[in-house]
Amino acid sequence: MDTEVPGALRLVATPIGNLNDLSVRVREAFESCTLIACEDTRVTGKLLAHLSLSIKMVSYREENERVKTADLIQAIEQGAQVGLVSDAGFPGISDPGFRLVRECHARSIRVIPIPGPNAAITALAASGLPTHQFTFLGFLPKKSAGVRKVLEQWKACEGSLVFYESKYKIEKTLILLSEVYGNDRFVCLARELTKLHETILSGSLSNVLARFQKGSSKGEFTVVVAPAGYSFEGKS
């Protein structure tokens, strides 16, 4: 029989841009925590200040994830109530967290998810592209050759593809998409979701690329790619 561990891990989803998306459960989760592991203490510090909360924080990012996981597990086993957050969205989804969650389950530590905003799901739901089946690719490789290889690999996928891209690479990635998938493939380009300058462009690659080039390339991007043959007219 598993021995009950006194502490717990709370996975706390935070706003992806609009602080009004903070839920009551997020505040309650934070108030239950004795320690918060966060990607950037400065970002999370501002969020806690917005909620008028003061809770001890520790940095938990890709560079120190392996070492900090062991420290956090030890703290939880000694009774700590740990909250895990990323700078925005759901921790562990294209952000640090997987190793800590895996280790908690391996040690019979309770994991409590506090749902909230997620850019991938938000973009997919608002895209007008098929939502019944999709594959999340996270961030694509940094180099163009790697991006092309991934796109080729998923070219015949029967569901929609969803991935994140930076402002520095987004135009190159859209051009690569048109080269690999053709200008007629339907896509959605979502920028600055939930923020003041939110933009959601959906249509054929040629149409979206032309509209994108007339607008701003600043901000964070989520890209949704429809299966081959899909269009708003055909509704296939």
| pTM, entire model | 0.92
Q: Write out the two tokens for 15.
A: 């706003």
User: Using the 8-state DSSP alphabet, how is residue 215 labeled?
Assistant: S
For residue range 13-57, what is the model confidence (pLDDT) as tens digits?
999 999 999 999 999 999 999 999 999 999 999 999 999 999 999
DSSP code at position 100: H
- What does the alpha-carbon distance between residue 129 and residue 202 come to, in Å, rounded to a whole number? 8
Three-class secondary structure of residue 143 per DSSP: coil
pLDDT of residue 62: 87
Residue 52: DSSP 8-state: T
Q: Give residue 152's pLDDT.
A: 97
Asked whether the beta carbons of 152 and 172 are under 8 A apart, the reply is no
- pLDDT computed for residue 2 by the predictor: 56
Supply angle C-alpha 103, 106, 110, rounded to 5: 80
**pLDDT (0 to 100) of residue 1:** 41
Residues 6+ away with beta carbon under 8 Å from 11:
84, 90, 91, 92, 97, 101, 111, 112, 113, 114
Domains along the sequence of the chain with CATH? 8-114 (3.40.1010.10), 119-225 (3.30.950.10)
Q: What is the pLDDT of residue 106?
A: 96
Q: What is the pLDDT of residue 236?
A: 52
Residue with tokens 């920028």: 191
The residues of the chain scoring below 70 in pLDDT are 1-4, 234-236
